[in-house]
Amino acid sequence: MEMGLTGKTVVITGGGTGIGKAAALEFLKEGCHVAVCGRRMEKLEQARAEYDALGYELMIRSVDVTDYDALSAFADEVAEAYGRIDVWVNNAGSNHIKSLMDYDVEEFRAMTDAILVSVFSGSKIAAEHMREQGGGGVILNASSFSAVIPNAGRAPYSACKAGVSSLTRTFAAELAKDQIRVIAYVPGMTATEISAKNIELNGPRLMRDIPMQRFGKAEDCAKLMVFLASDNASYISGTQIEVAGAKLCVQNPLYSYEN
């Protein structure tokens, strides 16, 4: 299937590792200009060196996605470098395991800023650029199976991801007149750098909740993003798509993760 993304400009937050890094490579393979940001410059530099060795050019910047002005300045820099922004992926986030009763208000607010407010900020900034370009474009948001079935030990994360799913639908409704599509992707238990320790310690138990009997790969979500960003998905907006191996069909809220 031809994706027709050659020459498009793609921005990915949280693009130095895991799903964001894999998405950057898939878009580069399609001939896109790709700019990624993240907190850890060393991870971004590793990704750039890896993709440079493959013959691809990756723009990297260290940006705190909870800082609206910094994120907006990054978007302006990308638009100036490549002429426009066509696809924006809100992939950055945060996750911790702790009982709800052990969180204090400031910790909860920090999680909300990192997961939910950052998606609002990124979506708003992207939409402003896309409108100035005459409309059209795609915004992709990282949600989670926690948005559908909350996880014991992950209360702020679950609440924020549910908010991401709701924001996705609201932005989609409001931006439809501008032909800007907004979609959430919902990874299941995906084998990445972040989840490696959990999978190593609890793999057999976690596998019992995955009907397809394998952990997801970062590329599973990345390839979906490429499709959703293409005109092959031109009538898809305002929804969330699970990439979870049927995990949500059998999910137990108390045992979503080892706590």
User: HSE-up of 26 (CA within 13 Å, CB side)?
Assistant: 23
Contact between residue 225 and residue 26 where contact means Cβ atoms under 8 Å apart: yes
- Return d(Cα 1, Cα 230) in angstroms, integer: 10
Contact between residue 58 and residue 31 where contact means Cβ atoms under 8 Å apart: no
Residue 219: name the closest of 189, 184, 190, 186 by CA.
Answer: 190
Residue 24: name the closest of 42, 51, 63, 45 by CA.
Answer: 51
Structure token digits, residue 195 = 């989840």
- What amino acid positions are annotated as catalytic residues? 157
- Return d(Cα 250, Cα 259) in angstroms, integer: 18
The interaxial angle of helices 105-112 and 155-175, nearest 10 deg, is 40
